[in-house]
Amino acid sequence: MLTPLDRALDQIGLLCGRTATSMGLIHAAYNTLSRLLQREPQNAACLLLLCENYWKQNQQQQESNHAIVIDLLTKSLQQDSSSSPLMSHGNTSDRGSGNRPGINNGNLVGKNIADDSSVVDGGAAVNNGSVTQGSSGPLSSNYLIWTYLAIAYLQTNQISQALKSITQATTLNPDEPFLWTLQTRIISRWYFLLTLDPQIQQQPGALPTIETVLPYYINSIEWSTVKQDHLMQLESHISLATLYFQFSLYEQSLGEMTFALNLLDSIQSSIPLNENLSKLTFIYNFIAVLHLRLNDPNNALQFLQQVKDLAPTESHVIRCCITMSGISLLTNHDAKIENSISLLTTELNTLTKLKSTKNAYFSISSTEEFMLRYTLARCHSHMGNTETSYYQFQQLLKLFTNHDFSPLVWTSIASLYLQLDQLADSLQAYSQAVQISMDKMSDPAIVTSTSTFSNVYLSLKFYKLFAAYGWFGISQVYSKTEQIKDSLNALEQSIELFRSVGDFGTAQRLKQHHEQVSQTAMNMKTQTATDQFLPPDIPIDLLLDYSMYHYMQSAFIVESLDSPALSARIPGVDLQEQPSQSLQQQQQQQQQQQQQQQQQQQQQQQQQHQQSLQQQQLQQQHINQTTSSISPPQLPMIQQQQQVLQQNGISQHASPALPRVMVAQNPSVPIGHTIGMPGVPQQIVQPLPPHVHAQHAQQMGVYSLPYVVQNAAYPNQPNAAGPHPMPMGYTQHQPQLAQTHISQHRFG
């Protein structure tokens, strides 16, 4: 049993640990927090601060730090309850066939963590993060524990466990928009990894449709809107825009990005300047790419010109110039490409002067400088400036040794050699690009969050694509030297790599080229149709896609360990023992007591004055005194009643409770259609947003599509108004109607 002195010392230890963590004193924070955690293993605030301390340690060891956090949290949950939801997942990997999620119709099949737990359920007490004492409640009822666990699983690409953990967090605290937004980011990662799974790609209809995942994104927007959390609302719209982009629904994605741009403009005063510029630059670049995909490059360039003129830092200007130059290259317009060369050269000269000036400050990353030089070299190559282009490529290899983007340079150099008919040099350069790409895919430093590619799924996809284009280039060199057999073998390698990342369009075109070359060889002809594909180089639109995902990691970091939204929800630490009432309640009580004293003084003065009046007023005075003596004893009773209500979080003027919707699994739908949801028929109580139509509960993502609303009870409230929900298929088949529906029911 902890004494008041022990609790005070723990509070001081927490404060010291939090201060040391915020100041970057990692070792001091670790020593303080670890000692405190040994004394009180169930101290949630100490546990969360210790996890944050691990995340801020050596960035080169983030993978092991995530594993330590997972191990720390899962063991703490096991100690918290003998029937911990993650009893079978004590390490950082899924063990046993029973714990591995399967794939059924493109959805994860796995037991939900709530199925194995008798401690945590849908009716568990909600912990809003105000944890200051270790004995404030079980760890399994603290939604922040599950949130940290979900992020750690996400960073190690254990997506099924991340989905289960975030589902538990949303069950414990469904009113937190941050959790729903984080859930959409996890689902996006889950979908992206599915597209890289060859087994899934070989199964017709195995990948989930947009109707399957869209309700989660709509639900995130709904909650952030009703809670007036504008930052999470912005993050939710960005998530939905990227989802539409993944499904090639560019008009819908443009609509979400436009709304996000207007929303950012309305809340920019509450966002730090540099963060606001990063978000603004990303949105403008994304809108420009969307206009390009909609065959409107002129509008795309106008958007980028606006933000380039407004951006006050070189970093944001360079990003816009790179995207503008890429779009100009795709338009194949010489005047625009010449203008891009002028812009990029100016920025490169400015950067060179800044780097040569002592103590000069510039916020340009190595990736931005690399892409600036690389794009400039590609523009010169397009305009036929061979010597200048080759010089820039050589500078890249000299300045950025073993850079993550080295395959880009080698592929472009090989393409340049191929144009000059230096076939031996071209073959060597293409082979170097393929070798580096394959080595990077197996490099532990690349397939973690420490890579320049920001995360593993980007590195896997782009390195496979780099290798695919390298093999394609090798096949073209062999075709020029009439080594048809070697050309076909290299082409088959390229086709297989394109298929492995889901680029079936390019794979099909190369397959047709493969058939043409084979037919030519059989007919003993010398024409190989090589000119149709020369020179193989990394497509600019592929680099634009990469830029969007890469810049999103720095502008919208809801799932990042440095997310301000997550840091703001870490429990606070108070030096004093938490009183039974809040400070505001105590102030109100003191004001009421002062008012009582003033009233009593006024009554005494009135009584003294009345004694000097006539005798016939004495009787009336006695009546008044009797009336006034009745009211004071009742005031403390009313105040005590108000204090009890306030302590219980209830207001005398509170509206009726939110409708509680009993949600159960639809027995007619296979469990394979769920995403990290309960694997057995189980009833889960989940609050329905008051502004959402009752019949939207299934489609708008109260839980997921396979669930049906059995009995929605609205105590003392009329039936929900509004039109009936539209079928989820409207998004693809009726885009205009979808935009009208969304504007009326979500934003209106």
In this prediction, residue 725 carries a pLDDT of 31
Residue 104's φ and ψ, nearest 5 degrees, are: -140, 110
Predicted pLDDT at 237? 92
257: pLDDT strictly greater than 50: yes
Q: Is the pLDDT of residue 680 over 60?
A: no
> What's the CA gap between 254 and 433, in Å, rounded?
35
Q: Give me 22's structure tokens.
A: 């915020």
Residue 573 above 50 pLDDT? no
Structure tokens at 366: 């190595």
pLDDT for residue 411: 92
How far, in Å, CA of 2 to CA of 629, rounded?
Answer: 46
292-320 residue pLDDT tens: 899 989 888 888 887 777 665 667 778 88
Work out the number of other CB atoms within 10 angstroms of the CB of residue 161. 26
Is it the case that residue 576 has pLDDT exceeding 50? Answer: no
What is the chain's mean pLDDT, rounded? 67
Q: How confident is the model at residue 566 (pLDDT cuts 50, 70, 90)?
A: low
The answer to whether 593 and 35 are in contact (CB under 8 A) is no
Rounded mean pLDDT, 95-99: 33
CA-wise closest residue to 670 among 704, 626, 711, 624: 704
- Nearest Cα neighbor of 49 from 13, 2, 77 is 13
The whole-number pLDDT of residue 87 equals 36
Q: Exposure of 53 by Cβ count < 10 A (0-12 exposed, 13-18 middle, 19+ buried)? A: buried
Q: What are residue 709's DSSP bridge partners? A: 663
Q: Cα separations (Å) of 690 from 169, 225, 461, 650?
A: 21, 12, 42, 19
Closest CA to 70 of 48, 99, 100, 90: 90
Whether the predicted pLDDT of 572 surpasses 60: no
Q: Is 396 a residue whose pLDDT tops 50? A: yes
82-93 pLDDT per residue, tens: 433 333 333 433
CB atoms near residue 492 (< 10 Å): 15
Q: Are 21 and 52 in contact (CB under 8 A)?
A: yes
Q: Decide if 669 contacts 187 (C-beta within 8 A).
A: no
Instruction: Please determine, for residue 28, whether its predicted confidence score (pLDDT) is greater than 60.
Output: yes
Pick from 366, 376, 347: which is nearest to 404 by CA? 366
Closest CA to 278 of 611, 92, 663, 554: 554
427 band by pLDDT with thresholds 50, 70 and 90: very high
- CA-closest candidate to residue 661, choices 617, 628, 707: 707
> At residue 284, does pLDDT exceed 90?
no
Is 480's pLDDT higher than 60? yes
Segment among 124-128, 200-204, 398-402, 654-658 with least mean pLDDT: 654-658
Give the list of residues 6+ apart from residue 561 with CB closer than 8 angstroms, or none: 55, 151, 155
Structure confidence by residue, pLDDT tens digits, 692-708: 333 333 433 332 222 22
Of the pLDDT bands very low, low, confident and very high (cuts 50, 70, 90), residue 100 is very low
Query: In this model, does residue 287 exceed pLDDT 50?
Result: yes
Q: What does the alpha-carbon distance between residue 369 and residue 375 come to, in Å, rounded to a whole number?
A: 10
Residue % of the chain over a pLDDT of 70: 58
SS (H, E, C) 553-567: HHHCCCCCCCCHHHH
Residue 389, both tokens? 């282009």
Distance CA 426, CA 407 (A): 14
- Label residue 401 left, alpha or beta by phi (over 0 means left) and psi (-120 to 50 means alpha): beta
Does residue 727 surpass a pLDDT of 60?
no
Distance between CA 168 and CA 86 in Å, rounded? 11
The rounded distance, in Å, linking the Cα atoms of 694 and 708 is 11
Contact call for residues 514 and 491 (beta carbons, < 8 A)? yes
What local confidence, expressed as pLDDT, does residue 308 receive? 75
Residue 493: what pLDDT? 92
Q: Tell me which of 412 and 605 has the higher pLDDT.
A: 412
| Tokens encoding 657 | 């409770």
Other CB atoms within 10 Å distance of the CB of residue 184 = 27
Helix 406-419 to helix 456-480 angle (10° resolution) is 20
* pLDDT of amino acid 410: 92
Mean local confidence (pLDDT), 587-602: 70
Considering the chain, what percentage of its residues have pLDDT values greater than 90?
Answer: 10
Average pLDDT (675-679) is: 33
Residue 664 pairs in a beta bridge with 708
Alpha helices in 612-748 (DSSP H): 616-647, 730-733, 735-742
Reported confidence tier of residue 135, pLDDT bands at 50, 70, 90: very low
Least confident range of 33-47, 156-170, 234-248: 33-47
Asked whether the predicted pLDDT for residue 217 surpasses 50, the reply is yes
What was the pLDDT predicted at 102? Answer: 36
Average pLDDT over residues 343-360: 77
pLDDT score at 148: 86
**Angle, helix 484-500 to helix 504-522, in steps of 10 degrees:** 160
Q: What are phi and psi of 127, to 5 degrees?
A: -105, 110
Cis peptide before 535 (omega within 30 of 0): yes
Side chain identity at 491, as an amino acid letter? L
Task: State the maximum Cα–Cα separation within the chain, in Å, rounded to a whole number.
Answer: 136
pTM for this one?
0.65
What is the residue extent of each domain of the chain?
Answer: 402-538
pLDDT tens-digit profile of 636-649?
332 333 343 344 43
| Model confidence at 531: pLDDT above 70 | no
Local structure of residue 142 (DSSP, 8 states): B
| pLDDT single digits (tens) 311-350 | 656 677 788 888 888 899 988 888 899 988 988 888 888 8
Q: What is the CA radius of gyration of the chain?
A: 32
Single-letter amino acid, residue 38: Q
Query: What's the average model confidence in pLDDT over 98-106?
Result: 35
Task: Tell me the one-letter amino acid at 47.
Answer: L
* Average pLDDT score over residue span 283-292: 89
Q: Is 106 helix (H, G, I), strand (E, B) or coil?
A: coil
* Token pair in block for residue 188: 């996006």
Question: Residue 732 pLDDT > 60, yes or no?
Answer: no
Has residue 472 got a pLDDT over 90? yes
- Residue 737 half-sphere exposure, CB side, CA atoms within 13 Å? 10
Compute the 3-state secondary structure of the chain and give helix, strand, coil in percent, each to the nearest 5: 65, 5, 30
